[in-house]
């Protein structure tokens, strides 16, 4: 009794049967202009995704998201976690670009460029069809187990390749090559990361599949807020298609005239081909990823029955209902304006950053030491990041300080491209240099190739009252 009372009246999710079990989707492939165009785009993106981590600019990776060392290289430029303003601006630019593209073109990203769709529809499903056949053209039952095994073996290989490519963006191709060529005993953590990522890929594309779009992806949830009635979506022309039904011939001399039917012959091919298992004739739904497979399926039917194509088409809600589409709306004016402001701010901040960034730090422990020569030594640590894609050497000088000497193991000190270094130096002074207050001195760092910045540093001596304790001198980089 409870089941009939509590059971849902309609299907809750397109991937769920009413009894709660998984409804496995095997979309029927539909040939047509959109699937052909999407295939070209998909393979171009797959090639790009695979090649990108191997490309280098001035000896550095074009793209490297080194989370462990908290260093991000994009197109030869190094970004650090201290670049909070830049990262915030970058995130805002990404968000507003998504808002604008969705307002104009709906979920074009989901249907044409999202890796989930690209790999699922153009790599994993074709492999599955190769081994198991397509709906309506299933392979014979003999050797079914072997075919399933072969399918998962192929899935595993693709998932391994995909996982390695994905990780190359985070660890770099050199590390990746070492991990692949070395024994798992030498890199147990790396091996586990690889195995885990491969397992996740296999789980996603072999089992979880379209549910990523339906229940996990946050973008689908924002859809109703980001779209308006003039956004481009895949839509069914209800006026033209309804009432739907199979055309029947009127019998000569029959008393009752058959109802006038719309163009939809209710073949359900648009539903059978949908990778998320929905019926677009029920209107725009959260599950629709805008892939246009239903357009291709319906166009083929329309062609066959001699009706104009486009019963399902890319259009907007307003265009289908009122026959006109408004291109200029407040949101498509406001978003680009905001993007121009954000991009300008981004460029200004990037340009204001020097080719190196440094801070001067006081070593922890005693504020100063008395040397055997009787001189007073203050220890200074320079934490410098070379933000350029080339190696450089940096010279440290004390500005206008005749009574002070700088002692360093190496001056100039080297810093490889993108590297952060922390050389230590001693600032030496005669005890008579100091009085009761700490002395603020000026330190200059230059690379002889255009970079030159000065920072203050405070030194202490025996007569300085606040000489006890330790502290760091702030510096804001150059
Ligand atoms: S494919 Fe076209 S004709 Fe067939 S059910 Fe869908 S909308 Fe109707
Ligand atoms: S309804 Fe059409 S466009 Fe939307 S997901 Fe299904 S097949 Fe793709």
| Ligand 2 nearest atom to the CA of residue 290, by list position | 3
Residue ranges making up the domain that contains 371: 356-459
Residue 180: pLDDT over 80: yes
The domain boundary, picked from 353, 372, 395, lies at 353
What pLDDT score was predicted for residue 250? 59
Task: Decide which of 258 and 128 is more confident.
Answer: 128
| 347 and 420 belong to one structural domain | no
The answer as to whether 302 is a domain residue is yes
List the alpha helices (DSSP H) in 306-436: 317-322, 330-352
Q: For residue 114, what pLDDT band results from cuts at 50, 70 and 90?
A: very high
Residues at CB less than 6 angstroms from ligand 1: 241, 244, 264-270, 281, 297-298, 301, 311-312
- Three state DSSP letters for 54-74: HCEECCEECEEEECCCCEEEE
Q: Which of 30, 234, 268, 296 to mutate to test the pocket of ligand 1 (most atoms within 8 A of CB)?
A: 268
| 266 and 371 belong to one structural domain | no
What pLDDT score was predicted for residue 475? 39
Ligand with an atom nearest the CA of residue 234 = 2
| Ligand 2 nearest atom to the CA of residue 27, by list position | 7
Is the CB of residue 199 less than 8 Å from the CB of residue 191? no
| 55 and 108 belong to one structural domain | yes
| 361 and 396 belong to one structural domain | yes
Rounded Cα distance, 429 and 149, in Å? 77
Q: Which residues of 106-115 are buried (b: 16+ CB within 10 A; e: fewer)?
A: bbbbbbbebe
| Ligand 1 nearest atom to the CA of residue 294, by list position | 1
The answer as to whether 152 is a domain residue is yes
Q: Name which residue sits closest to atom 4 of ligand 2, judged by CA.
A: 288
Which long-range contacts does 341-349 make (Cβ < 8 Å, 24+ apart)? Answer: 342/89, 342/92, 342/93, 342/96, 343/93, 345/89, 346/86, 346/89, 346/90, 346/93, 349/85, 349/86, 349/89
- The total number of structural domains in the chain stands at 2
Q: For residue 469, what pLDDT band results from cuts at 50, 70 and 90?
A: very low
What pLDDT score was predicted for residue 261? 85
Arithmetic mean of pLDDT over the chain: 87
Ligand 2 centroid to Cα of residue 200, in Å, is: 26
| 409 and 328 belong to one structural domain | no
Residue 280: pLDDT over 50: yes
Decide whether any atom of ligand 2 lies within 6 Å of the 233 Cβ. Answer: no
Give pLDDT tens digits for 2-34. 445 555 566 678 888 888 888 899 999 999 999
What pLDDT score was predicted for residue 152? 95
| Ligand 2 nearest atom to the CA of residue 289, by list position | 5
Q: Which residues of 147-156 are buried (b: 16+ CB within 10 A; e: fewer)?
A: beeebbebbe
Side-chain-side CA neighbours of 272 within 13 Å: the count stands at: 12
The domain boundary, picked from 310, 326, 353, lies at 353
What pLDDT score was predicted for residue 465? 65
Helix (H) or strand (E) holding 384: strand 376-386
| 31 and 44 belong to one structural domain | yes
End-to-end C-alpha distance for the chain, whole angstroms: 74
| 403 and 434 belong to one structural domain | yes
The answer as to whether 151 is a domain residue is yes
What pLDDT score was predicted for residue 420? 81
Q: Which of 473, 478, 476, 474 is CA-nearest to residue 452?
A: 478
Segment 444-458 shows an average pLDDT of 91
Task: Decide which of 195 and 224 is more confident.
Answer: 195
| 282 and 412 belong to one structural domain | no
The answer as to whether 478 is a domain residue is no
Residue partners of 172: CB distance under 8 A and separation at least 6: 53, 61, 64, 66
| 303 and 442 belong to one structural domain | no
Residues 452, 453, 459, CA angle at the centre, nearest 5°? 135
Q: Which of 32, 247, 268, 269 to mutate to test the pocket of ligand 1 (most atoms within 8 A of CB)?
A: 269
Give pLDDT tens digits for 404-422. 999 999 999 999 877 888 8
Decide whether any atom of ligand 2 lies within 6 Å of the 288 Cβ. Answer: yes
Residue 156: pLDDT over 90: yes
The domain boundary, picked from 288, 318, 353, lies at 353
The answer as to whether 136 is a domain residue is yes
Segment 144-171 shows an average pLDDT of 94
| 346 and 372 belong to one structural domain | no
What pLDDT score was predicted for residue 468? 46
DSSP SS3 for 367: coil
What pLDDT score was predicted for residue 350? 82
The answer as to whether 213 is a domain residue is yes
What pLDDT score was predicted for residue 257? 60
The answer as to whether 385 is a domain residue is yes
Task: Decide which of 105 and 9 is more confident.
Answer: 105
**C-alpha radius of gyration, the chain, whole number:** 33
What pLDDT score was predicted for residue 367? 82
Decide whether any atom of ligand 2 lies within 6 Å of the 423 Cβ. Answer: no
Q: Which of 121, 231, 241, 278 to mutate to test the pocket of ligand 2 (most atoms within 8 A of CB)?
A: 278
Q: Which of 46, 44, 78 is CA-nearest to residue 63?
A: 78
Ligand 1 centroid to Cα of residue 242, in Å, is: 11
Residue 474: pLDDT over 60: no
Q: Name which residue sits closest to atom 8 of ligand 2, judged by CA.
A: 291
| Ligand 2 nearest atom to the CA of residue 293, by list position | 7
Rounded Cα distance, 425 and 381, in Å? 6
Decide whether any atom of ligand 2 lies within 6 Å of the 14 Cβ. Answer: no
| 360 and 346 belong to one structural domain | no
Ligand with an atom nearest the CA of residue 243 = 1
What pLDDT score was predicted for residue 418? 73
- Lowest mean pLDDT of 79-83, 184-188, 328-332, 342-346, name the range: 79-83
| 445 and 312 belong to one structural domain | no
Segment 154-183 shows an average pLDDT of 92
CATH number, domain with residue 414: 2.60.40.10
Residue partners of 64: CB distance under 8 A and separation at least 6: 53, 71, 72, 73, 169, 170, 172
The answer as to whether 245 is a domain residue is yes
Is the CB of residue 452 less than 8 Å from the CB of residue 401? no
Q: What is the DSSP string of 120-139?
A: IIIIIHHHHHHHHEETTEEP
DSSP SS3 for 315: strand
| Ligand 2 nearest atom to the CA of residue 291, by list position | 8
């Amino acid at each position: 009794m409870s089941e009939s009372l509590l059971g849902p009246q309609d299907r809750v999710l397109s991937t769920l049967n009413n009894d709660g079990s998984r409804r496995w989707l095997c979309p029927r492939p539909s040939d047509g202009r959109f699937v052909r165009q999407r295939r070209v785009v998909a393979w171009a993106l797959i090639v790009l995704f695979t090649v990108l981590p191997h490309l280098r600019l001035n000896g550095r990776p074009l793209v490297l998201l080194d989370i462990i060392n908290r260093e991000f290289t994009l197109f030869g430029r190094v970004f650090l976690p201290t670049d909070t303003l830049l990262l915030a601006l970058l995130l805002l630019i990404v968000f507003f670009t998504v808002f604008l593209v969705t307002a104009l073109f709906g979920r074009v990203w989901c249907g044409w460029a999202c890796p989930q769709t690209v790999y699922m529809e153009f790599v994993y499903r074709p492999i599955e069809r190769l081994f198991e056949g397509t709906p309506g053209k299933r392979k014979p039952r003999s050797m079914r187990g072997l075919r399933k095994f072969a399918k998962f073996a192929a899935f595993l290989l693709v998932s391994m390749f995909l996982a390695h490519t994905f990780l190359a963006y985070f660890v770099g191709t050199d590390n990746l090559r070492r991990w692949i060529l070395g024994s798992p005993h030498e890199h147990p953590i790396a091996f586990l990361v690889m195995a885990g990522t491969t397992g996740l890929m296999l789980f996603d594309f072999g089992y979880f599949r379209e549910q990523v779009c339906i229940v996990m992806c946050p973008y689908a949830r924002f859809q109703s807020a980001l779209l308006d009635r003039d956004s481009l979506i895949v839509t069914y022309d209800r006026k033209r298609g309804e009432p739907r039904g199979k055309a029947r011939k009127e019998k000569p001399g029959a008393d009752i005239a058959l109802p006038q039917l719309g163009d939809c012959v209710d073949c359900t091919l648009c539903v059978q081909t949908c990778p998320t298992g929905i019926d677009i004739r029920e209107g725009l739904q959260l599950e629709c990823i805008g892939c246009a497979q239903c357009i291709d399926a319906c166009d083929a039917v329309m062609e066959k029955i001699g009706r104009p194509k486009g019963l399902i088409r890319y259009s907007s809600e307003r265009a289908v209902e009122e026959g006109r589409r408004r291109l200029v709306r407040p949101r498509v004016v406001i978003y680009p304006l905001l993007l121009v402001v954000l991009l300008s701010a981004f460029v200004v901040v990037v340009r204001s950053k020097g080719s190196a960034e440094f801070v001067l730090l006081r070593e922890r422990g005693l504020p100063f030491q008395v040397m055997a020569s009787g001189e007073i030594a203050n220890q200074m640590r320079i934490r410098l990041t070379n933000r350029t894609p080339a190696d450089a050497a940096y010279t440290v000088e004390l500005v206008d300080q005749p009574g002070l000497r700088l002692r360093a193991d190496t001056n100039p000190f080297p810093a490889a491209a993108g590297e952060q270094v922390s050389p230590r130096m001693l600032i030496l002074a005669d005890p008579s240099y100091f009085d009761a207050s700490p002395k603020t001195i000026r330190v200059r760092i230059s690379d002889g190739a255009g970079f030159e910045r000065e920072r203050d540093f405070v030194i202490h001596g025996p007569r300085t009252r606040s000489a006890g304790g330790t502290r760091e001198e702030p510096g804001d980089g150059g």
